[in-house]
Structure 1
């Protein structure tokens, strides 16, 4: 029997340092997130980062926490509850970090007699720290607990027409009554070395401004190319001229060269360039979370206004929109045929 497991990032159990710390430990100790040898990673994470970060992160989470819980978890569940009735096969929802974990999702499917699972990472763009770690963790769990299960997976859907149309419609709806000066596409950042590590040609990705526009097999796994391609396709659908939008990358950590330009740096410079009304969309996420609700809708908005900006609009993610839920269910049903 076929079934599907939808997998998103995850969240702490509560916005408190006590619950944030184990969540951050699981996340940051992932070799696909901080990709250095284990002992160095443990020194960085457990010896340095986790001494102060849980308190800071808990404060940020407390600003966005809903009565029902973590926005990412709540919105993922709402989306799942809309998708599930539209499917012809059993389905479960898991998170890569925290709960409900991947083991519980696969067990739920196994208990229903499922032997062939479509893994659906809820990330539009391929990256080591998102898609790869989800698939690797699922395989680890399968080998240990469900050796007779077979896996298929949904590849990055950054350029799929249905997704592009859903994203374009969502942006269009948000901008319908907002006379913006500029539309910023802010994607989650990555260390540049992650881009080079996922280059299957071992030679194409130079991050020089031209490689992302030069045809290559590397693009199937290149996060940077896929972000720019999503932006190009969406702006073509919406008819937005090139001078009216730009691409940046957010959420960088200190100590490494990350993808540029940086969202916070660029936003803070915009008012001086005459951009007084800014709209920001975050297509790397399909559900609103800490990075969209606190980092963009709160912190970036505050800094934009402090630097002379007048109006700031954070465009919501696709979340549990009916059209997006229909797209997800269609993809799963097409696989199950």
Structure 2
């Protein structure tokens, strides 16, 4: 069987205009794995409230970070795809969960090249309902409806693979080696606490009480919080960071339900008030820089840090199209193809 791989990232509006941003946000926020409330209530919230105000605000944010070539996330993902393709003899496709670069188009492009077996590769180190799961579920729905003869296998979360931790740590070390910093904050995209409990396959382990993530359990295979904390622990160990000079936080909360804590903005504020002068911030929930890293962290986070007395605020780039990262992806795909 001819094999191929489909890299899948989050997605982006077609342009930083309120019209395109509204269309994108509508698709994103109506996903039942992003806002997991009953359909009627979700529609009332998204279409009746959020989409009346958020598109204009988000468009202004996108305009701050938009590149001449287009959306940073799309451009970076395409660069990564090209580097992976250079190292493989099989077709390497690219798709987005939301927006015009659909998973259906990505699968069709591979099928048109004669591919019969696809490695679906969500570009997320950690598992989450709103990232990995929504990609794999949609891909299976598309297979059943449009590609019944296509075999699809999903690459699992790779947050704790030693080779990934090594590549991530090398990237961070290389960027920070000439920087002056006294604290490293690992900021991950937040999710509602209920998502953690819903993903608990044991239905009893996850209590988000400060200890369950450190207690071995089958639940950790699908526990986003545990996986984030584990990335921080493993990278800090690899880099030799001393206790008290790093921590984990969560960004981008939405609404009034409890989300994973501590919150990144409040953590930046607290650390600045406590006397941290030079902060480096890493965002390991993303492999590609995007709105959340380029605007929310690099711009808003820096402004907040300066307001509370901080001096230097260094945002470490994501892995993006780093050659070592592209080579690792190619190696994983090759190993899959040979298995």
TM-score, normalisation: structure 1: 0.99
* Corresponding residue for residue 212 of structure 1: 213
- Whether the aligned pair in 1 keeps the contact of 2:18 and 2:55 (CA below 8 Å) is yes
1:107-118 equivalences under 5 Å are 107-118=108-119
* Corresponding residue for residue 11 of structure 2: 10
Matched, 1:283 2:284: yes
The Cα of 1:336 is off from its aligned counterpart by 0.5
The Cα of 1:130 is off from its aligned counterpart by 0.1
Q: Distance in 1 between matches of 2:243 and 2:228?
A: 15
State the SS of the aligned residue for 2:313. Answer: strand
Q: Distance in 1 between matches of 2:19 and 2:51?
A: 11
My pick for the range that moved more, 96-105 or 43-52, is: 96-105
1:71-110 equivalences under 5 Å are 71-110=72-111
My pick for the range that moved more, 135-144 or 36-45, is: 135-144
- Whether the aligned pair in 1 keeps the contact of 2:84 and 2:92 (CA below 8 Å) is no
Per-residue deviation, residues 92-144 of structure 1 (Å, max 9, x unmatched): 00000012110111001111111111100000000000000000111111111
- Whether the aligned pair in 2 keeps the contact of 1:188 and 1:284 (CA below 8 Å) is yes
Q: Structure 1 stretches (4+) deviating beyond 6 angstroms?
A: none
Q: Distance in 1 between matches of 2:189 and 2:224?
A: 10
1:215-234 equivalences under 5 Å are 215-234=216-235
Per-residue deviation, residues 232-258 of structure 1 (Å, max 9, x unmatched): 111111110121100000000121100
Q: Distance in 2 between matches of 1:197 and 1:183?
A: 31
* Corresponding residue for residue 49 of structure 1: 50
* Corresponding residue for residue 178 of structure 2: 177
The Cα of 1:88 is off from its aligned counterpart by 2.6
Q: Distance in 2 between matches of 1:45 and 1:254?
A: 11
- Whether the aligned pair in 2 keeps the contact of 1:2 and 1:115 (CA below 8 Å) is yes
Q: Distance in 1 between matches of 2:91 and 2:71?
A: 25
Q: Distance in 2 between matches of 1:163 and 1:99?
A: 30
- Whether the aligned pair in 2 keeps the contact of 1:88 and 1:333 (CA below 8 Å) is no
State the SS of the aligned residue for 2:286. Answer: coil
The Cα of 1:262 is off from its aligned counterpart by 0.2
Matched, 1:253 2:254: yes
* Corresponding residue for residue 30 of structure 1: 31
TM-score, normalisation: structure 2: 0.99
My pick for the range that moved more, 37-46 or 265-274, is: 265-274
Q: Distance in 2 between matches of 1:102 and 1:122?
A: 13
Per-residue deviation, residues 174-216 of structure 1 (Å, max 9, x unmatched): 1111121100000000000000000000000000000000000
User: How many residues matched?
Assistant: 337
Q: CA RMSD in A?
A: 0.6
The Cα of 1:324 is off from its aligned counterpart by 0.2
Q: Distance in 1 between matches of 2:146 and 2:152?
A: 14
Per-residue deviation, residues 262-296 of structure 1 (Å, max 9, x unmatched): 00001011122110100000000000000000000
1:115-194 equivalences under 5 Å are 115-194=116-195
1:261-276 equivalences under 5 Å are 261-276=262-277
Q: Distance in 1 between matches of 2:89 and 2:227?
A: 31
Q: Distance in 2 between matches of 1:16 and 1:288?
A: 20
Q: Distance in 2 between matches of 1:146 and 1:85?
A: 27
State the SS of the aligned residue for 2:26. Answer: helix
Q: Distance in 1 between matches of 2:304 and 2:226?
A: 28
Could you tell me which runs of 5 or more consecutive residues in structure 1 were left unpaired when the two chains were aligned: none
- Whether the aligned pair in 2 keeps the contact of 1:3 and 1:118 (CA below 8 Å) is yes
Q: Distance in 1 between matches of 2:218 and 2:90?
A: 33
* Corresponding residue for residue 240 of structure 1: 241
